Structure 1
């Protein structure tokens, strides 16, 4: 069975541990890139990454976008919601089904 990981700054992700998710707080871009690589090689089916960190790791995340597992999904952090997470999910759905499934929200 796959596990779920959450990667980001401590303040943004510590609450996810109460839900039983594995949290990985990071403080530098280098540390985050290394940890993301380790998580993609492990038993994780989903890796949540804070939007701010995902922006810093954009090129690293792109390397793993074609893999079925793990799914790398952006989530808002304490700095707020940039909309990048929703946009990423929307693009993934468009690729999977061949069209935009969200109507009237543009």
Structure 2
């Protein structure tokens, strides 16, 4: 995608500027996903979705992998620092995998 929100988030993370919501911290513990994996998703992963319905645009980054990604992170392009909103494991009922990208399944 390569737009402003994701580039701003990546630039901030490279400088060490990243906050985690309490919800994200709980999900990381619950799903055994560590901070390094989250940062790796943001810096080396692929953007799979932008959510523009919030005050701060939310960017979904899937983990960098040659196979089907198992995790993705939701990051708000918040000021002054990006905010990790949630950290998730990929669920087949929600996501399809096509050509290296997770794609949200259409609701029936």
Query: Do they fold alike, i.e. is TM over 0.5?
Result: no
Task: Please report the TM-score for the alignment, with normalisation by the length of structure 2.
Answer: 0.27
Task: Please report the TM-score for the alignment, with normalisation by the length of structure 1.
Answer: 0.28
Higher relative contact order (CA 8 A, sep 6+): 2
Q: Which has the higher helix share?
A: 1
